[in-house]
Amino acid sequence: MNTWLDLACYSGNNITIGRINIALYLLHKGENLVLTSEQIAQFDTFGFILMRGLFSQGEMKSIEDGFETIMVQDRGRKEYRGERQSLEPFAEKEPILTSLADDDRIYKPIEQLLGSGFVWEGSDGNHYTGDTLWHPDKGGEAVRLGYRQIKVIFYLDKLSKDDGCLRVIPGSHKEPLHSSLLSLQNRDNDNFGVSQSEIPGYPLETSPGDVIFFHQSLFHASFNGGEGRRMFTFVFAERPETKEQISYVSGFSVSFKPRRVLVDSDRPRIRQMMEPLVEIGLEVVGP
């Protein structure tokens, strides 16, 4: 969508003609935000979409505060010293972060990509340090079942290809490319004859406020990153319907758990993301 609206403003005897971009206006208002058919085609074909400037710098400040509150508490209030720190569940612990999942800017694109009845699979928070080698989050069974799981990523620091931004291999969420890349996970295997960082990948350079939506079977990695890159994610998945899908989601130990704080949330959309999990008989866990 790229629609311009001409505006006329009257002040005394002067008329000012201005133009605003409706797409940008709606984006900042967070209203009626829907993916275009081109964006949906991008996601289906390449396995990701990067949406720039989805959250303002003011909003990012509150989000950052929520992130730090959880991380500092997890470290027993100790100063951060550059170590790798990963926590799951994460956004469930701070209402300001939880509420992002039912914000139109996240909820509506996810509903379009996963269909109604999608579920909250999980959330994690991380300080990443050093390289992350090539991997998909969900391979094997998820790919075989064609079961769609989407990660929504917020990086809280500006990252470029020279200092550890996420790289993806477009189209690797699908066969046959997906299976041809599985050997990249064998760290000792040099089967393409180049180092991990030389494998061709697309750099998703981001600034705080940008959001990445990616298919979890997509191969991704990061290289040349410094210490403590701050990032948190949500993972959403299609409503599990077939016997095989139900058995797949029931097999996770931390993800796909109906969490008490979400099942009893005062936000209808959040409760709705838990309902299909409760309906298939998964046990509600606390808190």
Ligand X SMILES: O=C(O)CCC(=O)C(=O)O
- For residues 199, 124, 237 and 131, what is the CA-based torsion angle, rounded to 10 degrees? 0
Binding ligand X (rule: CB under 6 A), the pick from 167, 173, 178, 220 is 220
| CB of 220 or CB of 239, closer to ligand X | 220
Q: Is 213 in the site for ligand X (CB under 6 A)?
A: no
Q: Is 222 in the site for ligand X (CB under 6 A)?
A: yes
Tell me the one-letter amino acid at 223: F
Smallest gap from residue 85 Cβ to ligand X (A): 13
Cβ atoms of 223 and 160 closer than 8 Å: no
Token pair listed for 272: 């709705």
Q: Is 166 in the site for ligand X (CB under 6 A)?
A: yes
Q: Is 137 in the site for ligand X (CB under 6 A)?
A: yes
Smallest gap from residue 245 Cβ to ligand X (A): 22
CA 17 to chain centre: 39
Choices 10-18, 57-65, 223-231, 278-286; region in contact with ligand X by CB under 6 A: 223-231
Q: Which three-class secondary structure string do you get for 212-231?
A: EEEECCCCEEECCCCCCEEE
Smallest gap from residue 263 Cβ to ligand X (A): 26
Q: Which three-class secondary structure string do you get for 131-166?
A: CEEEECCCCHHHHHHCCCEEEEEEECCCECCCCCCE
Among 31, 47, 41, 35, which Cα is nearest to 1's? 35
What character string, x for contact with ligand X (CB under 6 A) and - otherwise, covers 96-135? --------------------------------x---x---
Contacts (CB under 6 A) with ligand X, residues 225-254: 225, 229, 231, 233
DSSP code at position 271: H
| CB of 27 or CB of 213, closer to ligand X | 213
Token pair listed for 166: 């996420």
Cβ atoms of 84 and 209 closer than 8 Å: no
Number of shown-chain residues binding ligand X (CB under 6 A): 10
- The binding site for ligand X (CB under 6 A) comprises 128, 132, 137, 166, 220, 222, 225, 229, 231, 233
